A = this chain, B = another copy of it.
């Protein structure tokens, strides 16, 4: 039995299934537009071999290792590094075996389908991974990683990626992006401006980061205007390295539009020790509006990814650091939160702000009504926990009736797991085609329109929304 059902994710009734399949076939081979994600540009600069199966599939993927942790497997046994450099498992084969023995935990999760896709489509596997097949898998993948056609650039081409955006902090020197350009390789890998470390007073080392921002730009960060000018320079620097967008990962979507003098006073306050939680939140809020204003000036698309309560377990954070699967969403307000920003620039026809959420209750109640009114707003695809068949279904069913298709921004894979990129786009394309086929089958959309929309959702909307 193959690892993948060729009709997976299509509706079960025969006529809807036939149409879904036809729609999917019309978009299956379109290039991948990946306008937001967390791949490492170094992969494409150096084009070195991926070290081993565990480092490719387990150690960096918090979707994967946190599921084993949730059932009592220690992070150390999965090779997840410790902040203090203390001992963790270093034998990739041992890690792989542990991972293989726990495959049942992933049943009916997106990870299961993404992994099956990568195993089957990238590495040619035909048997499911489990304790019995663990070693055969390991050996075969490890051997393949040695071959030139499994190097990052070859896979990039094989995956059909037209453009891939990575995400770098405001202080990054972008040297890997520079090296990619200088290498003569024609793959298009662009950066994205993510200034959290220099706009969030709660970020580790915020004041020092701002100092460094000043040093890098030659602007006087001792003044509010100098600080803003430094951002403008870094944004320009990122644009020189292909960036068309910025990205903002705040705890909330709160924005503010303070009078200039108040903003300036707040800036001086947050640079000093003893910042209150409210002051930090207000400064982040003000900076979202400042960033939106800069986007009006320089044309960069603004992404807002709010709502994760990061590092929920203090002990795990202290021992293993950020991005270890312990980021938990919470209720997120957009209506009051975005009001200052939208009052300032929401009606600007040339501004694009793409909103994401980890709170699905806001799809129909807040996000679709906002995006269905403000010209500056577009809705990003289902994010993180909701980048899944059911997540995409709920997104489309809840958003489309109010905001239509054309206030959405296509698909993001948003991944640091390189081999999952084609799998994630495959799931999104199938899920969208399933939805479209259902619309046609229930008389809500004409078949010819469905083919056009399928193409738009797969290719055109992402490319246009991100100005790629």
Contacts and interface: CB of A to CB of B under 8 A. Distances in A.
A332 to B, nearest CB: 9
A70 B330 contact: no
Interface residues of A, number: 93
A29 to B, nearest CB: 20
A328 B339 CA distance: 11
A10 B443 CA distance: 9
**So how many copies of this chain end up in the complex?**
3
A9 B372 contact: no
A110 B400 CA distance: 10
Interface stretch (A46-54, A84-92, A131-139, A384-392): A384-392
B401 A390 contact: yes
Interface string A441-453: 1111110010011
A13 B13 CA distance: 6
B404 A442 contact: no
Contact of A371 (B8, B70, B335): B70
Contacts of A349: 72
A385 B405 contact: no
A229 interface: no
Interface string A24-52: 00000000000000000000000000000
Interface of A: 1, 4-5, 7-13, 15-16, 66-67, 69-72, 104-110, 112-113, 128, 309, 312-316, 325-331, 333, 335-336, 339, 342-343, 346-347, 349, 358-361, 364-366, 368-375, 377, 385-386, 388-391, 397-398, 400-407, 438-439, 441-446, 449, 452-453
12 contacts: A7-B443, A12-B438, A13-B13, A70-B375, A108-B400, A108-B401, A309-B336, A313-B343, A313-B373, A314-B343, A315-B347, A329-B365
